[in-house]
Amino acid sequence: MAVTISRSFKDISLSFTKHPVTNDITILRNEDAIKKSVINLVRTRLNERFFNNLIGTSVDDTLFEIGNSDVFSFLEEEITTLLNNFELRILLRSVEIENPDDTNDLNIKITYDIVGLPFPTQNIEFILQPTRV
């Protein structure tokens, strides 16, 4: 696999906050842009994006099936496939999903390297909780 060297990565902030000086939409750069993109991909539900139904995971749909240990390995594989296919700016190292005792939460830990930039290995940890709508 050939590794290309990039100067930087930029994405717009989805909060659409205004930059205090330029009055433009706030820009996320490099590792912050990639981190936000990874979290957005994992939290996107399947069939949520209109023109690409393959983007997303079933993480939110399985939050009520946490008692089954097969769910964790399925979700880890699903997140790994998603990130390898749709976030080409990273080299994925690991995806770990844990369920703390006596909770319905999922702790998701994703470890990756940024392709083309000399940043250390990045770790993202976030918690998903089931909520009723």
Full DSSP string of 67-96: T-THHHHHHHHHHHHHHHHH-TTEEEEEEE
Q: At residue 57, does pLDDT exceed 90?
A: no
DSSP-assigned beta bridge partners for residue 92: 112
- One-letter amino acid at 55 equals I
Domain residue spans of the chain: 44-128
- The CA distance from 29 to 99, in Å, is 32
Report pLDDT digits (tens) over 77-118.
999 999 999 999 899 999 998 887 777 788 899 999 988 888
Residue tagged 């994405």 (tokens) = 11
Q: At residue 65, does pLDDT exceed 70?
A: no
For residue 17, give both structure tokens: 């906050």
Distance of CA 84 to the CA centre of its chain: 11
For residue 33, give both structure tokens: 């842009």
Options 3.10.450.40, 2.60.40.10, 3.30.160.250, 3.90.420.10; CATH for 44-128 is 3.10.450.40
3-state secondary structure of 33: helix
What is the length of the chain? 133
Q: Under the phi-then-psi rule, with left for phi > 0, alpha for psi from -120 to 50, and beta for the rest, what region is 131?
A: beta
Report pLDDT digits (tens) over 6-55.
567 777 776 677 777 777 777 777 788 888 889 888 988 888 888 888 88
Q: At residue 59, does pLDDT exceed 60?
A: yes
Global model pTM greater than 0.85 = no
Instruction: Name the pLDDT band for 74 (thresholds 50, 70, 90).
Output: confident
Q: At residue 133, does pLDDT exceed 50?
A: no
Q: What is the pLDDT of residue 92?
A: 95
**Average of per-residue pLDDT across 109-132:** 86
DSSP tally for the chain: helices H, then strands E? 2, 5
For residue 101, give both structure tokens: 């005792």
Instruction: Name the pLDDT band for 124 (thresholds 50, 70, 90).
Output: very high
